[in-house]
Amino acid sequence: MYEVPKSLSPAMKNLSGSSRDPAPKTASAAPYHHASQEHLPSVQICFNPFKAKQTGDRSPIYCRSPIYSFIAYLLFMIVTISPCDSSDDVSAAKAIGRAAEAVLRSDGSLSVFEKPTIREKPITLFPKSKIVFISGGQNGIALGQNGEVSTWDSVCSNEEVPVCRVESRSIGGIAAVHAASVDNPKTGGTVRLIVDQYGNVFGLGDDSEGQISGRIDDVGSQKRTYIKFVRVPLPVRIKKVYLGAFHAMAIDEAGVVWTWGGKSYQLARGSGELYSGERGFSATRLTSLPKIRSVSADLATYALAEDGKVWRWGIRKEVCKSDCQPAIIDFTAKIEQISTSTFYTLFLDVDRKCYLIGNDSVFGTSKSPDSEEIPRSITMLDGVDVISATVNVAAAIRDGVVLTYGLRGPGRRLKF
């Protein structure tokens, strides 16, 4: 991970703006005392670092030996200058996309990598845009603090460790409150969705799975790509959008989940009321779920309810029921975050304890298939603030530091 730079502590900032005592105080017989300098011309000026740390008082005192001045200076440096808190550090991480292929920094800038497979040679994008939200990895979408929409795409070499050139652009004329981006595992194309302030959904990019048009009848006959944002004709106002490997999801203002697309994997759409809209659009409204707060999907879909319960559907044919009805996962903990990939899913509860369902070979302790459907504790991730899972790599943020797992050892710190 990057080296956390040192900066002035809050106490030091107070000191720099404080004033010295304007009037000298009467000398005493104590070794350290306030006095006028003309009364003690041979002594060395110093000050009390402990008092300065606690009260901000930087008024001078006098030492009878130069060594006292040196010692006092060292003490002052120790108690007032310390590594800055990561929450105030402009290089600290706030969010990650696709197991830290993309990292949102505290100063609102975005970091991606020339060598994304090993997360090396970072590149800074949108340094002045004040990004507040990201989705995606090598290719993705970002939202600014006023809803500005920006995208980035990586053009990579065919080497064993690919080297990528990153192209970014800002899209004018539209503002968004939420967004999602995913790369199609079959075609390699990128699909992006946004929600505007009025609850409308728009899509851009690869539509070969119907994640934009909602059509699954003729989508596979040829690759369809939208080069401009087009409206996704959902019948209700939407708050958030999400993308799985082959399907799309949205949460409306009532907390109801809508799914569409999924030509190659329709199990991911789940079971519910079928809606048919304009231009051949079709979606499923999952009426059996409680009010949902967020969703995470790859092939399977995991929905996090407002009460911290987790629901799942579309695992695989031999597990999913005939109607693919969402089923609740038996967690004793109240879950706060979910991040899923093809082979495993990570869960973070309100006490910052982490759990896993699926194959945990990324963490070096692979279990037998019989145990993969049972939530298991991943203690090495306990205490993290953010989790992110992909097929071969997992990542987390702890106190502003990005840690990766399955990538050159567990708990590797990314450097910026």
Model confidence at 28, pLDDT cuts 50, 70, 90, reads very low
Q: Which residue has the tokens 């929600």?
A: 195
Rounded CA separation 114/294 (Å):
31
List pLDDT tens digits, range 31-85. 433 333 333 344 344 444 444 444 444 444 444 455 655 665 565 555 444 444 4
Percent of the chain scored above 70 by pLDDT?
73
- pLDDT at residue 179 is higher than 80: yes
Sheet containing strand 247-252, strands side by side: 238-243, 247-252, 257-261, 282-286, 273-276
Over residues 247-256, the mean pLDDT reads: 97
CB atoms within 10 A of CB 88: 11
Over residues 11-31, the mean pLDDT reads: 38
Rounded CA separation 82/63 (Å):
25
Q: In degrees rounded to 5, what are phi and psi of residue 370?
A: -65, -25
- pLDDT at residue 224 is higher than 60: yes
Model confidence at 264, pLDDT cuts 50, 70, 90, reads confident
Angle between helices 66-80 and 10-17 (to 10 degrees): 120
List pLDDT tens digits, range 123-158. 999 987 899 999 999 999 999 999 999 999 999 999
The pTM (predicted TM-score) of the whole model is 0.77
pLDDT, position 140: 97
- pLDDT at residue 176 is higher than 70: yes
Rounded CA separation 13/36 (Å):
27
Over residues 242-254, the mean pLDDT reads: 96
List pLDDT tens digits, range 349-383. 999 999 999 888 888 765 555 567 788 899 999 99
Rounded CA separation 252/177 (Å):
13
**CATH number of the domain at 93-342, please?**
2.130.10.30
User: Is the distance from CB of 415 to CB of 4 less than 8 angstroms?
Assistant: no
The larger pLDDT score, comparing residue 330 to residue 304, is at 304
Using DSSP's 3-state secondary structure scheme, residue 307 falls into coil
Residues carrying CATH 2.130.10.30, the chain? 93-342
- pLDDT at residue 7 is higher than 60: no
Amino acid identity, residue 314? G
Read out DSSP for 346-399?
A: EEEETTS-EEEEE--GGGT----GGGTTS-EE-GGGTT-SEEEE-SS-EEEEET
